[in-house]
Amino acid sequence: MALIPTPSQTVGPFFHYALDHPKWADLTGGGKAKGQVIRVAGRVLDGEGAALPDVMLELWQANAAGKYAHPEDKQDKPVDPAFRGFGRVSTAKDGSYAFTTIRPGAVPGRGNTLQAPHINVSVFGRGLLKRLCTRIYFADLAKENDADPLLASIEDAAARRTLLATPEGGNYRFDIVLQGERETAFLDV
Q: How many whole angstroms separate alpha carbon 125 and alpha carbon 118?
A: 22
Q: How confident is the model at residue 12 (pLDDT cuts 50, 70, 90)?
A: low
Q: Please check whether residue 134 is in contact with residue 187, taking contact to mean a CB–CB distance below 8 angstroms.
A: yes
> What's the pTM?
0.89
* Topology of the domain comprising 15-177: Protocatechuate 3,4-Dioxygenase, subunit A (2.60.130)
The domain locations on the chain are: 15-177
Share of the chain above pLDDT 90, in %: 75
Report the pLDDT averaged over residues 26-31: 93
Q: How many whole angstroms separate alpha carbon 75 and alpha carbon 70?
A: 11
Q: How many whole angstroms separate alpha carbon 20 and alpha carbon 58?
A: 10
Is the previous residue joined to 53 through a cis bond, with omega within 30 degrees of 0?
no
- In this prediction, residue 5 carries a pLDDT of 64
